[in-house]
Structure 1
Amino acid sequence: MSFQFKILEKSQINDVVPLVQKLNEFKLSEALLKERFAEMVTQNYECAVIYDNEQLVGVSGLWFCTRHYVGKTVEIDHVYIEDDYRGKGLGKQFLNWIYAYVKTKGCTTVELNTYVQNYPSHKFYYNEGFEILGYHFLKKF
């Protein structure tokens, strides 16, 4: 397998919608996800992807910002790798590529949220050296 890690062109953002729908806890429609991604790419957002030859097999959003407690940081978001590619070290390779990329943009930390019931991701991120700093709260209007 020949994997390619790269930042997706903004014009190709809809390519990731099928993968994000598989991850999507909130079961959002394709149309709504496309609308939101179209807005996201106009903000401090980039999308890292994994290709196996021509097939898109992984995705991670990258939100760049500066926070008072850590400085310039990136929040990785909606990380997803197709089931057939899990458990083979691809996630670790992908994160290592992301770490190197965001360092070139001046980031000194990486942050993320993961769903409470997503136990496999917790183990993965612990093994990557992430620590739990708090809770993520959400209030809908």
Structure 2
Amino acid sequence: MAFIFKIIDNEDIESVIPLVEKLNSYKISYEILKKRFYEMIAQKNYECAVIYDGNKLIGVSGLWFCTRHYSGRSVEPDHVYIDEAYRNKGLGRQFFNWIYDYAKERGYEAVELNTYVSNAQSHKFYFNEGFKILGFHFFKKL
């Protein structure tokens, strides 16, 4: 199978929302997600990587680009989701290799991310990818 990995055009951003909704444990409405995605694009440090199987959108990962004092220029994959029918076939590794190459080509030197505590399957994947736990992600709604 030949999958297509690419950065989605900003005008097509709404096409990723159905996949993100499946990951969305907070049950945020489609309309709020739509509004937030357009705000994220407007910030100019966000891009959205996708996977297509032919014309079918099967995977998504937001990419946040920044510079941090401890890691230098880094990219943060966010809201990573691959359609359940395509899991456990090496596609996640292919996707992340594509992300690593894309980030390196742009001059980035590190990848960091957050994952839900309850998502044990993702923890195993990220450990296998060489990620280390550096701390805790704290959240407070204002």
State the TM-score, normalizing by the size of structure 2: 0.98
Structure 1: state its 5+ residue gaps.
Answer: none
Q: Once the 2 structures are TM-superposed, how far is the Cα of residue 55 of structure 1 from its aligned partner?
A: 0.2
For each residue in 1:38-66, what CA deviation from the matched residue of structure 2 results, as whole angstroms up to 9, or x when unmatched?
A: 11011110000000000000000000000
Structure 2: state its 5+ residue gaps.
Answer: none
Matched, 1:32 2:32: yes
The residue identity in structure 2 corresponding to 1:16 is V
Distance 1:105 1:42 in 2: 20
Structure 1 ranges of 4+ moved more than 6 A: none
Q: Alignment partner of 1:114: what SS?
A: coil
Q: Describe how 1:1-141 pairs up with structure 2 within 5 A.
A: 1-43=1-43, 44-141=45-142
Distance 2:25 2:63 in 1: 19
Distance 1:68 1:121 in 2: 27
Q: Once the 2 structures are TM-superposed, how far is the Cα of residue 2 of structure 1 from its aligned partner?
A: 2.2
Q: Alignment partner of 2:104: what SS?
A: helix
For each residue in 1:12-45, what CA deviation from the matched residue of structure 2 results, as whole angstroms up to 9, or x when unmatched?
A: 0000000000000111000000000011011110
State the TM-score, normalizing by the size of structure 1: 0.99
State the number of aligned residues: 141
Give identity over the alignment, percent. Answer: 65
Q: Once the 2 structures are TM-superposed, how far is the Cα of residue 116 of structure 1 from its aligned partner?
A: 0.4
